[in-house]
Structure 1
Amino acid sequence: MHLIWIILIGFLAGLVARMLTPERGPSGFFLTAGLGIVGSLAATFLGQALGWYRPGQSAGFVGAVLGAVILLALYHLATRR
């Protein structure tokens, strides 16, 4: 159930991160959802590794949005012409 919660928060975080970033990036439902889910997972596991969260505790919505925004910024840096 914990992983399902992370995925759900990540999907919503991907939508918010997409609205917050001004540049054109990956578009489409699946890419936006994937970006948010990966951002949520990265924020959760990085936060647990740094001791910010206990094992089994997720990053939450704000952490997931920050993770997704960082991933979107890295995407823009990698695909810059």
Structure 2
Amino acid sequence: MGFIWMIIVGLVAGLLARAIKPGSDPMGWIMTIVLGIVGALVGGLLANLVGINADGGFTGLIFSVIGAIILLFAYEMITNKRGV
């Protein structure tokens, strides 16, 4: 059940991050889920750095979305450098 829950939370975090960040980010459902899951890892590391326990619940979701937004900005910077 943990794997399914991780996919659901990853999808929610990825969708929220894509809705909050301005600009178009063309990606499918699977990449949105991957974005949310990896964003949760980045957000968890960020939460540990500032000393906040984000092991689930609303705080975990917030940090997952923050991590996913950071990843979206990093992805945008990398792809813009390749295109120029």
Establish whether TM, by shorter chain, passes 0.5. yes
Shift of 1:77: 0.4
Amino acid of the structure 1 residue aligned with 2:53: Y
Map of 1:39 onto structure 2:
39
Task: Provide TM-score, normalisation by structure 2.
Answer: 0.73
In the superposition, relative to structure 1, how do residues 10 and 4 fare at CA in structure 2: closer, same or farther (>3 Å)?
A: same
Map of 1:52 onto structure 2:
52
Map of 1:16 onto structure 2:
16
> 1:12-58 CA distances to partner (integer Å, 9 max, x unpaired)?
1100111122222241000111101100122123423553227xx24
Cα distance between partner residues in 1 of 2:6 and 2:67? 12
**Aligned pairs, number:** 79
Cα distance between partner residues in 2 of 1:25 and 1:77? 12
What is the identity percentage for the equivalent residue pairs of Structure 1 and Structure 2?
A: 39
Task: Provide TM-score, normalisation by structure 1.
Answer: 0.75
In the superposition, relative to structure 1, how do residues 32 and 70 fare at CA in structure 2: closer, same or farther (>3 Å)?
A: same
RMSD: 2.4
Radius of gyration: which is bigger?
2
Gaps of 5+ in 2: none
Greater RCO between the two (CA within 8 Å, min separation 6)? 1
Gaps of 5+ in 1: none
